[in-house]
Amino acid sequence: MLLPIALVAPLLLAAEATPAAPAAATPAVAAKEINPLVCQRFTETGSLLKSKKVCMRKSEWEAQRQENRQMIDRSQTQMPMNSGG
């Protein structure tokens, strides 16, 4: 009867030593959850099959969208006015 208890006791002690779930997430893990990695696939112009996968953080995608929008707005407002026909 002592033999099975001797085999089971280390397992019970090991189970108590390991926590079931972490109490709080580390700051690095929390930052990754807030700013996840997002991948998008873009097809090349003139090709139906060839594509390119681009992966960036969510904040990087947003910064690129804002930069593209500003470039479009700038090009539309700085168009030369042709007075001749």
* Structure confidence at residue 71 (pLDDT): 95
Q: What is the pLDDT of residue 73?
A: 94
Per-residue confidence (pLDDT) for residue 74, from 0 to 100: 92
- Please report the pLDDT score of residue 48 as a whole number: 85
- Tell me the two tokens of residue 29: 């893990």
Below-50 pLDDT ranges, the chain = 1-3, 8, 18, 21
